[in-house]
C-alpha cells in the first residue's frame, strides 16, 4: 500500500466534530448579550423522583427578572448536554424584553440530581410542570387565574421537545416556540422504521419496518449522556442515563436495528405522543442543515398540532445541528412570537408574524460566492409533494440499470455528511477546498441524472422517485442510501442539507425485483439555471449502521420521473440571519487554517528533518529499537543502509523483528529509540517523504467487489495525487492480467491477487519499494517473472527492499542482504560476499574416507585444517572459508583421491542457517515470543 500523508484536518477534524456536536446539542449559538444589569437569583427546587415516590430530585434553577413586574413568564429549557449556565445570554435577552425567565438544569445535567430518562413524561416533563407550579406562586409573575401563570415555553433540540411535551400535558402553557427538535425520537434515530399505523390515539400507534440506526449521531447523543459530569460524574457504566435507557439502547447499538420496546419507549418520550393535546399557539423553527432532526420532524409536529385546530407557524432557517444550532435569528423570532402571544399587544414584527411560512434558500453561486435569500409563502405546504398543497415539478431522470456492491465490513463507506459540521463539510467539498469530505466510492454508487435546468428551481420539501431493486441480501439485510445532488456545469457536487435517506428493503427474497417509492430528504434549496440534479443510490454510508455482510444490488428506475415540490414564494427584502452563516464561515475558516497549518508544518518539518548528506540514500536505519509496554523488545539496535539501485533482502526467522522494522519504516508505529531516514528525511507517522515509498506489507487491502482496474484507480485517488501521476499503463504491464483486470477481484486466484497488489504498490513508480513475501501464491513461472520485474525495477535507478523466506529466490534476485535474529542485525553485506566467503562445497570422490583423512591432515592453504563433513560413501561437504577450491582439489589429487565433481550448495541458505544457529547459541537460545504478538500493543 502507498502511505497517504494525512491532511492537517485529520486529527484536529475528529476533535472538532465532537466539540462542535457537543456544543450544538447543548446550546447551539449563544446569544449576543449577557446583560449584567439583569437581576437573577439561583434556587433549588425539590421534585419527586417519580410519581408516588418518596425519593426527591434536586433541580438547580435560576430566575431572571425584568425591570417591571408582574410580567409574563418564560420557561427556558436547554439542549442535550447543556445546563442553566448555557442559557444565561438568551435568558437575559428575554428578561430585557420584559419577561420573567426561569432557566434550569434538567435532571442528570449540570448540578441537578437524578438520572436522564430522555424527557420521560413522568419525570422530566413532570419536573417542568412543577416549575410552572412554582412560577404560579411568585409575585413577579403575571397570573391568568389562581395557580395559572401566563407562561410561554421555549427551547432547542432536547429543550424543544420538552417544550412541546409540556404544552401537550399542561393546558396552562399559553405559547410554545420549539426549535430544531424531533417529533418521534425513535424514527429520527432509526429512519425508515415505518410510519405509525392507524390507531385510536397517537400513543397507541405502532410501527412497521426495522429502521437504520444513525450510528454517528446516536453515538454522540448517547455518548454525551454516558460521559461523566455535574453531580453524576461517577454514575457508573450508564453515566448519567437511567439504567433502563442503557438496557433498551444497547441491543440496537450492536445490531443497528431497534427492538419494538426501544421504539415504543422513544416514541412515548417524544412530542408525537402528546402533540394532539397542544392547545397553545405554536411556533416551530427547524434548521435546513440538520442531519439529526430534519425538516420532516417539524412537519410531523405541525401536522399533528394543526389537526386539533391549534394555530401553528413554521419557519425554516439556515442552521440546525449541522449548521450552528439554533441561530440568533431563530431565537429572535421565538422572542417576537412569545411577545405576540403573551402580551395584550405585541411589539414584534407583526407583518412577519402574519406570514405562516418563512424559509431560506441559497441563491446562485457556490463556496465563497454563495448567496442566500429569505422567502415567504402564504401557507405552510408541508414537505410532501401533493397536488393540493404543494406545486410539483416533474423532472426526467435518465440512466441504465446499474449493479453496485456492498463490500465486506461495509468499508470503505460513502461519506455524505459529518455529524455536527455537515453544512461546512458540504460547503468545502462543493467549493473544491476539501473534496474528500464528501465522497461516494466507485462500485458502490448507482447514479441517475436530469438534463441541465433551463431555469432556476426552488426545491421546498421532499423529492420522490420510484425504483426497482434486486438484491442478493437476505430479508431485512438490504439497506440502501438515497441522496440528491446539485451538480454544477463544472461537475462540482453539493448535497443540500447534507442528508441522505436510509432505505431498508423489507421482507425481500434474494433475486426478487422489489418496487419501491423513495422519499429523499426534505430540503430548502435553489438549483441554479444550468445545473442539473443527480440521484445517487449508495450501498454504504459512514454515519449509519450499515449491515457488514457483502451484498449486491441492481438498481433501476421504475419511472423516469423525479417529483420535486416547489412552493410558490416571494423573495423577502429582509436580510438573512447571519449567525448560522457566521458559524459555518468560522468552521470553514478553521478547517482552512488547519489545512494550511498542516501544509506549512509539513513543509517546515520536511526541511528541518532533512539530512543533506543522505538525500540520495533511499534508506538509512540507525540505532532502531522498539520496546512494548510489557517490556518485550522486538527490535534492538538495528542499523543498515540500502543504496540506490539495490534489491535488498531482509531475512530472519519468525520473531526476528522484520515485520516490526517494516512497520516503523512505513510510519505505522513509532520507534522507542533510533530513527529511520528515507532520502534523508526522518520517517514519522504521516511524514511527506512517505509519498516516495510504495509498499505491499501485511496484505494488499484489495476490495473483492471491485474490478482490478477500479481497485487501482480507487487506491490512487485515496492518495490525493493527480491521476496523471499514477503511471497506470506501467502498473498494468506489471500486473499482466490481460482482460481479467476488468473482472471483480473476488474471482482472482491468489497469484493474480499478488500480481495486482504488486502493481498497486508500484503505482506512481515510487523511488523506494517495500515488499513483504511478494511471491506467496505464485507458481514457478510467475516467480521467475516477479524476479525479473524486481531486478528491472531497481536497474532503472529505484530501490527495492524485500522480505522473503524463499532464500533461493533472494539469492537470485537480491544484490544485498540483511539478516536479523532476536531483534538485531547479525549479518549484512552483498549476496556475493555471503556466498563467496562462507558456506559449504559438495565434493564427489571415489573414496570419501581417504578424502576426509587427506583434508583433515593437511590444510589446502597451509593454514588451519578445513572442516569436513561426511555425507555418504562417495561424497563429502567441506567448509572452505576463504580457501580457494582449487587448493582443495590439489590436496586431494596429491593424496591419490579421484575427484569427480565439485559443486556449491544453495549457499545463501547454508549461510543463513549457520548465522541463525550461531546467534541462537550466542544468546543462549532464549524462548522468545513472536513479534506479531505485540503488534497491537501501545508503543
List, for residues 687-730, the tens digit of each pLDDT value: 888 888 888 775 667 888 888 898 888 888 777 678 888 888 88
Q: In terms of domains, do 50 and 166 share one?
A: yes
Please say if the pLDDT value at position 658 is more than 60.
yes
Which grid coordinates belong to 469?
Answer: 431493486
Structural domain harbouring 227:
16-354
Distance separating alpha carbons of residues 42 and 65, to the nearest angstrom: 12
Q: Is residue 787 part of a domain?
A: yes
Residue-averaged pLDDT of the chain: 80
Q: Where are the alpha helices (DSSP H) in 546-642?
A: 579-608
| Contact of 325 with 289, CB cutoff 8 Å | no
Please say if the pLDDT value at position 929 is more than 50.
no
Secondary structure of 884-915 in HEC code, one letter for each residue: CHHHHHHHHHHCCCCEEEEEECCHHHHHHHHH
Which CATH number fits the domain that encloses residue 130? 3.40.50.1820
Interacting residues of 372 by C-beta distance below 8 A, sequence separation 6+: 318, 360, 361, 362, 363, 576, 581
Interacting residues of 83 by C-beta distance below 8 A, sequence separation 6+: 60, 105, 109, 110, 111, 112, 230
Please say if the pLDDT value at position 213 is more than 80.
yes
Q: In terms of domains, do 156 and 255 share one?
A: yes
Q: Is residue 816 part of a domain?
A: no
C-alpha atoms less than 13 angstroms from C-alpha of 61 in its C-beta half-sphere: 23
pLDDT tens sequence across 318-334: 888 887 777 778 899 99
Alpha carbon distances (Å) from 690 to 619, 623, 667, 873, 933: 12, 20, 8, 57, 26
Q: For 265, phi and psi rounded to 5 degrees?
A: -65, -50
Which CATH number fits the domain that encloses residue 693? 3.40.50.300
Q: What is the mean pLDDT of residues 865-893?
A: 81
| Contact of 410 with 479, CB cutoff 8 Å | no
| Contact of 282 with 167, CB cutoff 8 Å | yes
Q: In terms of domains, do 741 and 857 share one?
A: no
- Residue 886, classified by CB atoms within 10 Å of its CB into exposed (0-12), middle (13-18) or buried (19+), is exposed
Say which residue, 907 or 73, is predicted with more confidence: 73
Please say if the pLDDT value at position 248 is more than 90.
no
SS3 label, residue 248? helix
pLDDT bracket for residue 206 (50, 70, 90): very low
Of 81, 60, 18, 20, nearest to 228 (Cα)?
A: 81
- Residue 516, classified by CB atoms within 10 Å of its CB into exposed (0-12), middle (13-18) or buried (19+), is middle
Q: In terms of domains, do 730 and 867 share one?
A: no
| Contact of 175 with 73, CB cutoff 8 Å | no
Please give the model's pTM, rounded to 2 decimal places. Answer: 0.62
| Contact of 118 with 185, CB cutoff 8 Å | yes
Q: In terms of domains, do 312 and 450 share one?
A: no
Alpha carbon distances (Å) from 843 to 427, 889, 892: 77, 9, 10
pLDDT bracket for residue 586 (50, 70, 90): low
Please report which helix (H) or strand (E) contains residue 501, including its range: strand 501-505
Report the pLDDT value the prediction gives residue 592, as an integer from 0 to 100.
Answer: 54
Distance separating alpha carbons of residues 208 and 357, to the nearest angstrom: 32
Q: What is the mean pLDDT of residues 733-758?
A: 84
Domain boundary among 571, 587, 611: 571
Q: Is residue 935 part of a domain?
A: no
Which CATH number fits the domain that encloses residue 879? 3.30.70
Domain boundary among 305, 331, 354: 354
Report the pLDDT value the prediction gives residue 75, as an integer from 0 to 100.
Answer: 97
Distance separating alpha carbons of residues 615 and 825, to the nearest angstrom: 24
| Contact of 358 with 365, CB cutoff 8 Å | no
Q: Is residue 891 part of a domain?
A: yes
- Structural domains counted in the chain: 4
Q: In terms of domains, do 103 and 150 share one?
A: yes
Q: In terms of domains, do 795 and 853 share one?
A: no
Q: In terms of domains, do 49 and 193 share one?
A: yes
DSSP letter string, 871-886: EETTEEEEE-TT--HH
Q: In terms of domains, do 347 and 400 share one?
A: no
Which grid coordinates belong to 433?
Answer: 477546498
Report the pLDDT value the prediction gives residue 88, as an integer from 0 to 100.
Answer: 92
pLDDT bracket for residue 410 (50, 70, 90): confident
Q: Is residue 322 part of a domain?
A: yes
Q: What is the mean pLDDT of residues 538-547?
A: 90
Domain boundary among 736, 769, 799: 799
Q: In terms of domains, do 434 and 337 share one?
A: no
pLDDT bracket for residue 587 (50, 70, 90): low
Q: In terms of domains, do 314 and 446 share one?
A: no
Q: In terms of domains, do 408 and 276 share one?
A: no
Which CATH number fits the domain that encloses residue 446? 2.60.120.260
Q: Is residue 404 part of a domain?
A: yes
Of 789, 653, 655, nearest to 731 (Cα)?
A: 789
Report the pLDDT value the prediction gives residue 438, as an integer from 0 to 100.
Answer: 60
pLDDT tens sequence across 485-531: 999 998 888 899 888 999 888 767 788 899 989 999 999 998 989 99
Report the pLDDT value the prediction gives residue 365, as an integer from 0 to 100.
Answer: 43
Q: Is residue 2 part of a domain?
A: no
SS3 label, residue 704? coil
DSSP letter string, 815-874: SEEEEEETTEEEEEEEHHHHHHHS--EEEEES-HHHHHHHHHHS-TTSSSPPEEEEEETT
Q: Is residue 379 part of a domain?
A: no
Amino acid at each position: 500500500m502507498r502511505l497517504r500523508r494525512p491532511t492537517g484536518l485529520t486529527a484536529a477534524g475528529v476533535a472538532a466534530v465532537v466539540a462542535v456536536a457537543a456544543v450544538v446539542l447543548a446550546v447551539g449559538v449563544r446569544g449576543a448579550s449577557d446583560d449584567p444589569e439583569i437581576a437573577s437569583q439561583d434556587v433549588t427546587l425539590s421534585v419527586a423522583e417519580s410519581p408516588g415516590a418518596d425519593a426527591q430530585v434536586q433541580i438547580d434553577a435560576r430566575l431572571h427578572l425584568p425591570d417591571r413586574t408582574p410580567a409574563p413568564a418564560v420557561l427556558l429549557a436547554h439542549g442535550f448536554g447543556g445546563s442553566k449556565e448555557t442559557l444565561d445570554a438568551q435568558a437575559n435577552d428575554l428578561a430585557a424584553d420584559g419577561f420573567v425567565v426561569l432557566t434550569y438544569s434538567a435532571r442528570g445535567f449540570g448540578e441537578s440530581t437524578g438520572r436522564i430518562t430522555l424527557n420521560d413524561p413522568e419525570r422530566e416533563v413532570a419536573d417542568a410542570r412543577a416549575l410552572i407550579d412554582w412560577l404560579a406562586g411568585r409575585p413577579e409573575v403575571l397570573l391568568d387565574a389562581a395557580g395559572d401563570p401566563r407562561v410561554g415555553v421555549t427551547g432547542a433540540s432536547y429543550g424543544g421537545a420538552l417544550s412541546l411535551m409540556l404544552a401537550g400535558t399542561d393546558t396552562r402553557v399559553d405559547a410554545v416556540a420549539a426549535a430544531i427538535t424531533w417529533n418521534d425520537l425513535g424514527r429520527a434515530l432509526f429512519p425508515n422504521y415505518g410510519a405509525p399505523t392507524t390507531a385510536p390515539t397517537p400513543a397507541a400507534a405502532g410501527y412497521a419496518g426495522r429502521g437504520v440506526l444513525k450510528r454517528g449521531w446516536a453515538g454522540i447523543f448517547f455518548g454525551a449522556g454516558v460521559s461523566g459530569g455535574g453531580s453524576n460524574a461517577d454514575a457508573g457504566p450508564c453515566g448519567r442515563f437511567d439504567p433502563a435507557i442503557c438496557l433498551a439502547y444497547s441491543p440496537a447499538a450492536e445490531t443497528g436495528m431497534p427492538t419494538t420496546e426501544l421504539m415504543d419507549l422513544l416514541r412515548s418520550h417524544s412530542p408525537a405522543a402528546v402533540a394532539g393535546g397542544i392547545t397553545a399557539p405554536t411556533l416551530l423553527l427547524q434548521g435546513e442543515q440538520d442531519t439529526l432532526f430534519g425538516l420532516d420532524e417539524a412537519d410531523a409536529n405541525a401536522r399533528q398540532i394543526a389537526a386539533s385546530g391549534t394555530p401553528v407557524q413554521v419557519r425554516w432557517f439556515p442552521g440546525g445541528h449541522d449548521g450552528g444550532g439554533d441561530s440568533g435569528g431563530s431565537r429572535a423570532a421565538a422572542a417576537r412570537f412569545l411577545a405576540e402571544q403573551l402580551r395584550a399587544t405585541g411589539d414584534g414584527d407583526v407583518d412577519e408574524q402574519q406570514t405562516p411560512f418563512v424559509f431560506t434558500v441559497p441563491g446562485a453561486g457556490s463556496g465563497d460566492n454563495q448567496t442566500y435569500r429569505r422567502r415567504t409563502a402564504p401557507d405552510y405546504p408541508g414537505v410532501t409533494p401533493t397536488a393540493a398543497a404543494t406545486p410539483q415539478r416533474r423532472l426526467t431522470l435518465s440512466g441504465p440499470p446499474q449493479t453496485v456492491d456492498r463490500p465486506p465490513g461495509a468499508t470503505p463507506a460513502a461519506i455524505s455528511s459529518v455529524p455536527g459540521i455537515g453544512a461546512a463539510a458540504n460547503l468545502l467539498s462543493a467549493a473544491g477546498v476539501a473534496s474528500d469530505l464528501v465522497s461516494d466510492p466507485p462500485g458502490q454508487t448507482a447514479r441517475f441524472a436530469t438534463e441541465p435546468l433551463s431555469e432556476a428551481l426552488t426545491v421546498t420539501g421532499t423529492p420522490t422517485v420510484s425504483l426497482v431493486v434486486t438484491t442478493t441480501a437476505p430479508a431485512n439485510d438490504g439497506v440502501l442510501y438515497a441522496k440528491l445532488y446539485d451538480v454544477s456545469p463544472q461537475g462540482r457536487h453539493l448535497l443540500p442539507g447534507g442528508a441522505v435517506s436510509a432505505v431498508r428493503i423489507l421482507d425481500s427474497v434474494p433475486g426478487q425485483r422489489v418496487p419501491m417509492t423513495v422519499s429523499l430528504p426534505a430540503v430548502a434549496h435553489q438549483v441554479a439555471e444550468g445545473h442539473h440534479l443527480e440521484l445517487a443510490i449508495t450501498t454504504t454510508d459512514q454515519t449509519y449502521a450499515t449491515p457488514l455482510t457483502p451484498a449486491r444490488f441492481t438498481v433501476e428506475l421504475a419511472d423516469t420521473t423525479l417529483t420535486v415540490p416547489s412552493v410558490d414564494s416571494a423573495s423577502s427584502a429582509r436580510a438573512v440571519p447571519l449567525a448560522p452563516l457566521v458559524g459555518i464561515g468560522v468552521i470553514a475558516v478553521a478547517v482552512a487554517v488547519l489545512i494550511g497549518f498542516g501544509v506549512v508544518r509539513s513543509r517546515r518539518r520536511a526541511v528541518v528533518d532533512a539530512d543533506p548528506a543522505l538525500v540520495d540514500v533511499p534508506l538509512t536505519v540507525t540505532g532502531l529499537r522498539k520496546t512494548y509496554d510489557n517490556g518485550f523488545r522486538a527490535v534492538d539496535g538495528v542499523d543498515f543502509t540500502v543504496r540506490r539501485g539495490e534489491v535488498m533482502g531482509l531475512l530472519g526467522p519468525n520473531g526476528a523483528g522484520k515485520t516490526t522494522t517494516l512497520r516503523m519504516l512505513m510510519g505505522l508505529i513509532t520507534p522507542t529509540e533510533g530513527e529511520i531516514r528515507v532520502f534523508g528525511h526522518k520517517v514519522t507517522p504521516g511524514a511527506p517523504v512517505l509519498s516516495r515509498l510504495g509498499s505491499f506489507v501485511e496484505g494488499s487491502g484489495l476490495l473483492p467487489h471491485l474490478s482490478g482496474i477500479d481497485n487501482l484507480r480507487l487506491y490512487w485517488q485515496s492518495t490525493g495525487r493527480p491521476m496523471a501521476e499514477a503511471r497506470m499503463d506501467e502498473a498494468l504491464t506489471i500486473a499482466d492480467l490481460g482482460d481479467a483486470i476488468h473482472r471483480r477481484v473476488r474471482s482472482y486466484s491468489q497469484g493474480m491477487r499478488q500480481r495486482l497488489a504488486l502493481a498497486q504498490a508500484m503505482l506512481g513508480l515510487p523511488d523506494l519499494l517495500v515488499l513483504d513475501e511478494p511471491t506467496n501464491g505464485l507458481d514457478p513461472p510467475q516467480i521467475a517473472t516477479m524476479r525479473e520485474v524486481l531486478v528491472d525495477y531497481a536497474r532503472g535507478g529505484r530501490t527495492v527492499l524485500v522480505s522473503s523466506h524463499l532464500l533461493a529466490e533472494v539469492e537470485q534476485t537480491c544484490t544485498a542482504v540483511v539478516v536479523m535474529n532476536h531483534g538485531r542485525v547479525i549479518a549484512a553485506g552483498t549476496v556475493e560476499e555471503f556466498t563467496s566467503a562462507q558456506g559449504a562445497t559438495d565434493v564427489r570422490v571415489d573414496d570419501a574416507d581417504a578424502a576426509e583423512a587427506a583434508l583433515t591432515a593437511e590444510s589446502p592453504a597451509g593454514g588451519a585444517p578445513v572442516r569436513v563433513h561426511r555425507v555418504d560413501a562417495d561424497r563429502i561437504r567441506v567448509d572452505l572459508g576463504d580457501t580457494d577450491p582449487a587448493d582443495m582439489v590439489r590436496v586431494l589429487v596429491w593424496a591419490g583421491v579421484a575427484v569427480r565433481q565439485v559443486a556449491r550448495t544453495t549457499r545463501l541458505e547454508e549461510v543463513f542457517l549457520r548465522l541463525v544457529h550461531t546467534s541462537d547459541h550466542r544468546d543462549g537460545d532464549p524462548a522468545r515470543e513472536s513479534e506479531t504478538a505485540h503488534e497491537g500493543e501501545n508503543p
